[in-house]
Chain A
Amino acid sequence: MDPKSLINLSILCYWLSVGVFTAYWYFNYSDKSSRGLVLLIGLAIQFLAILLRGMAIEYFPLTNKFESFYGFSATVFVVLYIYRGTEIPTYRTVLFGVGYVFLVAAAFWPKGLNYPPPLMITIWYILHVPLSFMCYAYWASSFAAAAAWFLGAKPGEGASSGGASKASGTDMIELMDRNILYGMLLFSVSMLFGGLWGYVAWGSYFMWDAKVVWSVIVWLFYSAYIHVDHWPAAKAYKPHLAVVGFLIVLMTYVGTSFLIKSTHSFG
């Protein structure tokens, strides 16, 4: 099949996945197995679309805004799938909402055939970018847990209040901590790959470029967060910090392309 047809097929899969994930708004409130199945179908179509694009451009398809947003939404849905059993609808809805916003936003960018520039063609890029997306998705999950905490699941509340929560606010704090730690571990590895890519492509593992600086900001912020238990007075503000952290992530991911100038702005 020629590259053009593969791209057209991938676009068809994109719209199919939009349809499936739009339907998920309804299934989000159903039982674990049916919402899990819908998520799995949506993810399978998403990964098929990504595979088709990869075959068309003969490379890992993260070369433009459409592929970037689409890829990021897929990682958010992967994390949502991992936590599909968390019986806090607010948490699942917020996390799903983050993925859905990026999925729909992808529709506004050109979806055509786009070959990668030579500087993108390296194993370090393939390792760095998807891993970063996975970290962003874990941090989106911690943001969703913080939102659930703010909207009702407070420490010590227990498993009562109606359909709103079966887990307590303490569980939400635990979920926040766990996701931030997982994200932090992966992001540390991703930063190493990014540094190596910067070194072989531009001769610098660090430069005063907005995207690089904000990546360091993200790392510093979350590394301080994972130690926050050592500062008892600040412990109570973990949900607030999780929200601030996710705002920093959004600034790093999209803000450095749309709000401030960076040589990393995606084309």
Chain B
Amino acid sequence: MYWLYDTLKSKKLGVQLGFATTALLIFGSLLMNFMPAYYRGLQGEDINFFFEHVSLVNAWFYLMFAGFVLYGINTFCCTLDSVLVKLRAGVKNVTLYGGSVVHVAFMVTLVAHLVGGVYYTPSRMFTITGKPVRCGDAELSVTGIETITFPNGMPKEVRATIHVKRGGEEFERILGYNQPVVFDMGAKEFLLRQYGSKPKSVTLNLNGSTQKLALMEEFSIGESRAIVAGLMLPPRIETPVVAIVANPNREDAQQYFVRMDRTDALLIEGVQVRLEDVEIVNSVVVDLKENPGVPLALSVTALFGVGVVLVIFRLVQKLTHRY
């Protein structure tokens, strides 16, 4: 067994695997770019794709996968060997263990990528308004949206207040771009994709009497029927405009547009029509991402950080001794 351990802890093998996996990843990246038809459907960090679409074209991935497995084992054996040697020699300078910490972080990174890749699920989109919407195991609703814009009107910061009901608990979270709502130590997150106002209803004045109508609701207009076919809101246009289709089920159906700022009423089927009010609700479109590899990846961040800091300290110590 010692010969196997000796082989696996060979640093030369590690360097060779490093260059080999690099070359295979370069080859794979070029294939993915220049032969996209073979990789249609490959998303996010998914690695199941390569096992579900077994093909010679993916040979680079299978080789690279095996290479990374061996690389991980090699790193483990090298690190173990190095730490044992230092411990036996009674090394107490913590900075000398920095490299080992970085190597452990590298191994955990490989495992995190494996977990994230194997358990990858495509994200799901939900439109959330003031009414609670079930998104996975949580119920979300929007209670308010604040935006800060650049002088040209582009959004700079969006802060949507989200009311969350989950596991018998109710609480509020702020959702924004680069500010997801996160659960389960990061394994589940809701990302903001779009925000804005969603029209709910319009109030029309029909010959002096008001009527509140939902979108796509049919109503009587004179002797005919009509439908609230659509509503356009700023900033796409200056003022709200409602689209009304008279006689929607007939061949001679006709579409009318009623602007909110019109002083004179629009005559539709002999009826004076005015748009008096528009009821809108805040809404956000969120992406639900689930990746059980995230907690591991986050722990890698801390581990890598500690390792790199120790290595930097070691470098500083070396330089101080040199000069």
Give a binary string over A99-125; 1 marks a CB under 8 Å from any B CB, 0 the rest.
Answer: 000000000000001010111011010
Distance in Å from the Cβ of B211 to the closest Cβ of chain A? 39
Q: Do residues A199 and B294 form an inter-chain contact, with CB atoms below 8 A?
A: yes
Q: A224-B15, A234-B15 are in contact. Are A185 and B308 (CB under 8 A)?
A: yes
Contact of A227 among B11, B34, B304 (CB under 8 A): B11
In the bound complex, what is the Cα–Cα distance between A57 and B156 (angstroms)?
A: 10
Q: Do residues A203 and B291 form an inter-chain contact, with CB atoms below 8 A?
A: yes
Q: Do residues B123 and A220 form an inter-chain contact, with CB atoms below 8 A?
A: no
Give a binary string over B1-40; 1 marks a CB under 8 Å from any A CB, 0 the rest.
Answer: 0000000000110111011011001101110111000010
Give a binary string over A173-210; 1 marks a CB under 8 Å from any B CB, 0 the rest.
Answer: 00000000100010011001001110111111111101
Q: Do residues B45 and A204 form an inter-chain contact, with CB atoms below 8 A?
A: yes
Q: A196-B301, A228-B15 are in contact. Are A202 and B191 (CB under 8 A)?
A: yes
In the bound complex, what is the Cα–Cα distance between A189 and B294 (angstroms)?
A: 18
Say if the beta carbon of A216 comes within 8 Å of chain B: yes
Q: A121-B156, A224-B15, A230-B12 are in contact. Are A206 and B113 (CB under 8 A)?
A: yes
- Identify the closest chain A residue to B151 (Cβ): A3
In the bound complex, what is the Cα–Cα distance between A113 and B202 (angstroms)?
A: 39
Q: Do residues B43 and A221 form an inter-chain contact, with CB atoms below 8 A?
A: no
Count the A residues whose beta carbon is within 8 Å of the partner chain — how many?
46
Q: Do residues A58 and B156 form an inter-chain contact, with CB atoms below 8 A?
A: yes
Q: Do residues A214 and B29 form an inter-chain contact, with CB atoms below 8 A?
A: yes
In the bound complex, what is the Cα–Cα distance between A205 and B186 (angstroms)?
A: 12
Contact of B304 among A58, A118, A192 (CB under 8 A): A192
Query: B residues within 8 A CB of A124?
Result: 178
Q: Which of B242-297 contact A (CB under 8 A)?
A: 287, 289, 291, 294, 297
Contact of B19 among A57, A119, A208, A221 (CB under 8 A): A221
- Identify the closest chain A residue to B311 (Cβ): A185
In the bound complex, what is the Cα–Cα distance between A189 and B30 (angstroms)?
A: 26
Say if the beta carbon of B240 comes within 8 Å of chain A: no
Say if the beta carbon of B85 comes within 8 Å of chain A: no
Q: Which of B29, B42, B106, B154 has the most CB of A within 10 A?
A: B29
Say if the beta carbon of A261 comes within 8 Å of chain B: yes
Query: A residues within 8 A CB of B312?
Result: 185
Say if the beta carbon of B130 comes within 8 Å of chain A: no
Query: A residues within 8 A CB of B42?
Result: 208
Distance in Å from the Cβ of A183 to the closest Cβ of chain B? 13
In the bound complex, what is the Cα–Cα distance between A228 and B13 (angstroms)?
A: 10
Say if the beta carbon of A260 comes within 8 Å of chain B: yes
Say if the beta carbon of A86 comes within 8 Å of chain B: no
Distance in Å from the Cβ of A100 to the closest Cβ of chain B? 28
Query: B residues within 8 A CB of A119?
Result: 177-178
Say if the beta carbon of A231 comes within 8 Å of chain B: yes
Say if the beta carbon of A217 comes within 8 Å of chain B: yes
Q: Do residues A189 and B308 form an inter-chain contact, with CB atoms below 8 A?
A: yes
Count the B residues whose beta carbon is within 8 Å of the partner chain — how many?
55
Say if the beta carbon of B46 comes within 8 Å of chain A: yes
Distance in Å from the Cβ of A122 to the closest Cβ of chain B? 4
Query: A residues within 8 A CB of B21?
Result: 220
Say if the beta carbon of B217 comes within 8 Å of chain A: no
Q: A203-B287, A203-B291, A208-B43 are in contact. Are A217 and B18 (CB under 8 A)?
A: no
Query: B residues within 8 A CB of A122?
Result: 177-178
Say if the beta carbon of B102 comes within 8 Å of chain A: yes
Query: A residues within 8 A CB of B157?
Result: 118, 121
Q: Do residues A231 and B25 form an inter-chain contact, with CB atoms below 8 A?
A: no
Query: B residues within 8 A CB of A3?
Result: 151
Contact of A213 among B29, B46, B287 (CB under 8 A): B29
Say if the beta carbon of A170 comes within 8 Å of chain B: no
Given A121-B157, A204-B44: 20 more A-B contacts, CB < 8 Å: A115-B156, A118-B157, A118-B178, A122-B178, A185-B311, A195-B301, A202-B191, A205-B45, A207-B44, A207-B45, A217-B25, A221-B18, A224-B15, A224-B22, A227-B18, A228-B15, A230-B12, A231-B15, A234-B15, A260-B33
- 30 CB contacts below 8 A, A to B, read A113-B152, A115-B154, A117-B154, A121-B156, A121-B177, A121-B178, A189-B305, A200-B178, A201-B178, A201-B191, A202-B191, A205-B45, A206-B45, A206-B113, A207-B43, A208-B32, A208-B39, A208-B43, A208-B44, A208-B45, A210-B33, A216-B25, A217-B26, A220-B21, A224-B14, A227-B14, A228-B15, A231-B15, A234-B15, A261-B33
Which 8 A-B pairs have CB atoms at the shortest separation, nearest pair first?
Answer: A224-B18, A203-B289, A230-B11, A118-B177, A122-B178, A260-B33, A115-B150, A231-B12
